[in-house]
Amino acid sequence: MRASSVRLLGMLPAVLFVLVVVNIVHAIVGGGAYAMGYQFAGGVRGVRAYIWTGAPPNGQLVTGSPVGICQTSVCSGDNGKAIETGWVKGTSLGLGDALRQYYAFRDTNNSWKFNVVNPVLGNNTWYQFKVLYSHSAARWEVWRGNDVVWFAPHSLGWTFGNWTAMGSEAANPGNWMGVSSWHPEYKVGSGSWTLFNYWFSQTAGQGCIIPSYDFGYHAWGPC
C-alpha cells in the first residue's frame, strides 16, 4: 500500500488506521488482480466519478471498474459491508463479452449480491457512475448519469460509510485492466459534492494506479 506523503503530513493516526484496510470488496472478480485508490471520508453517503470505458478486450473471464463505498475499514471478507458499481465485461458472466454496468453489495443475510443492468455500454465512452444513499427515499441507489438504474429493495442495515474506493480489477493476475477516471467526488451527510484525489493506493496481480492528473487517476495492468 502506498500513501501520499504530502497529504499525510501530521496525520499519523490516519496512516495507522488505513494500514488495516482490506481492499474494497472484489465482488466481481474475487480479487485476482486489482489497482485501487482509497479516500477516508467519515459519514460518506455518496461517491461518483466519470469513468472511461476504453475498449476492453474480448475473451477475458472478467474485468471491471469499481466505484464504491465501504461501511468501515473492513471492506471485504466475512464482515465487510460495501456497495459498488461501474462497468464490467467478461465471458464468465454470460454476457457474451458485452460491456455493461453492474452493481454489487452485501445483503442483510451476509451474502454478496451481484447483477448487471441494461443497456450494453459503448466502448471509448465517458460514463458517470454513482453510488448514493438517498435520504428522501431512504434507500441505497446506483446511478449512471442522471438515471437511477437500481435501488436496494430493503434496508441494508447502514446508511453511510467511511471509505470510498475506485480503480480497476480483473479475474486473474496478469489479465488486462484499463480504467481512466475524471472528477471523482464524494458526499458527506447533507453537504455538497467534494472533489478529491485518493489518499492511498493498493495493488495486486500486476496492477498499477497513478493520479494521472489533478482529480483523476489511471489504473491499468499488466504493468
Q: What is the pLDDT of residues 124-158, one digit of tens each?
A: 999 999 999 999 999 999 999 999 999 999 999 99
3-state secondary structure of 12: helix
3-state secondary structure of 39: strand
pLDDT at 79 (0 to 100): 67
Query: Could you tell me the CA-to-CA distances from 198 to 104, 114, 218 in Å, in that order?
Result: 22, 26, 12
Mean confidence (pLDDT) of the chain: 85
**How would residue 10 be classed by pLDDT, with cut points 50, 70 and 90?**
very low
| Total residues found in the chain within this entry | 223
Has residue 26 got a pLDDT over 60?
A: no
How far is Cα 72 from Cα 22, in angstroms, rounded to an integer?
A: 10
pLDDT at 31 (0 to 100): 55
Has residue 32 got a pLDDT over 60?
A: yes
pTM, rounded to two decimals: 0.87
**For residue 93, what is the DSSP state?**
G
CB 63 within 8 A of CB 176: yes
**How would residue 74 be classed by pLDDT, with cut points 50, 70 and 90?**
low
How far is Cα 156 from Cα 110, in angstroms, rounded to an integer?
A: 10
Beta strands in the chain (DSSP E): 2-3, 33-52, 63-64, 67-70, 82-89, 100-106, 112-117, 126-134, 139-144, 147-151, 161-170, 177-188, 194-195, 200-204, 208-213, 216-221
Phi, psi of 92 (to 5 degrees): -75, -10
Give 5's contacts (C-beta < 8 A, 6+ positions apart). Answer: none
How far is Cα 84 from Cα 49, in angstroms, rounded to an integer?
A: 12
How far is Cα 99 from Cα 83, in angstroms, rounded to an integer?
A: 20
The CATH number of 2-221 is 2.60.120.200
97: which 3 cell numbers? 463479452
